[in-house]
Structure 1
Amino acid sequence: MPAFEKLSIPCTFVQDNHSLSVPAFTLRGLHFQTPPRGQDKLVRCVRGAIFDVAVDIRKGSPTYGQWVGAELSAENGHQLFIPIGFAHGFVTLEDNCEVSYKCSDTYAPENDGGIRWDDPAIGIDWPMPAGTAPELSPKDAVQPLLADFDSPFPYDGRPLAPLA
């Protein structure tokens, strides 16, 4: 049995992405691709440290709008699997962070979507010093709130799994 299947990761990865964020507290997200081009992602930090987040955006899910997060670093080697139907984002915890992630579909700009990183209805506890404003891309600064988002992702019965 392949290693991903043993971990209940039932997808084939077809694209690898690599990003560099130079200043600490650069925030990317919350991103997803809509059907029919949804993406499962397997994320790891290969240089530096990030706080990585997944938000359940599956319509009808009992955990809709809830999030899980984990620190991923080159030192700890941890990875986070983000299934289709979850928005993904991260904040860098130090300068010069490199993030590598595998995707189950290629990038499709017409299916690109996002939710605001600071949506109070989601309430992500981003680990940034008090008074610190994250470095945002213009795209991430204007994403819609969850309340203004009509999710195309159906609930598939899988619970929002706790992080071990």
Structure 2
Amino acid sequence: MGIYDFVVKTNKGVEKSLADYKGKVLVIVNTASKCGFTPQFKELQDLYMKYKGQGLEILGFPCNQFAEQEPGSNSEVQEFCRLNYGVTFQIFEKGDVRGETAQPLFKYLIEQQGFKGFDASHPIAAKLTEALQQNFPEYLEGDSIKWNFTKFLVDRDGKVVARFEPTFAPAEMAAEIEKLL
């Protein structure tokens, strides 16, 4: 099983094969519109605009599993992203990204790139860790996705080459993306 074997649904409910992205560099990210990390949409859009002509695609997957920070419908999520952050990259159907109900794509991504810790220098890292310890201690176990805006980098051959936690700003991914383009 590889990344190109997965079929996901767009925010309009249309099935989309990830094989359509063969030969592209991908950033696959779980998103939420009511999260402290939501401003990362702007940086993701900036990356997309800068590198899409060279073969970058960003695939956003809204998720409401983390403190219900994505309560909107698929169309409301799309509208929020477009109006507030100018998002033009593909937003997919809302779904789970951790646990038994996780979308198969995210189970695969986690198998390929495990959790390596939060960037302790990020201003929200300590607060996020504390909140998880107090409210969702089970989220800190294993390699599961810990919070919104976990980003996976996939090379042109479909290999999942890196995982960036929410405390890693999208702009900081630019050097890694450039190596793959």
Length-normalised TM-score, structure 2:
0.27
| Greater share of residues in strand | 1
Structure with the greater relative contact order (CA < 8 A, sep ≥ 6): 1 or 2? 1
Q: If the length of structure 1 is used for normalisation, what is the TM-score?
A: 0.29
Name the structure where helix makes up a greater proportion of residues: 2
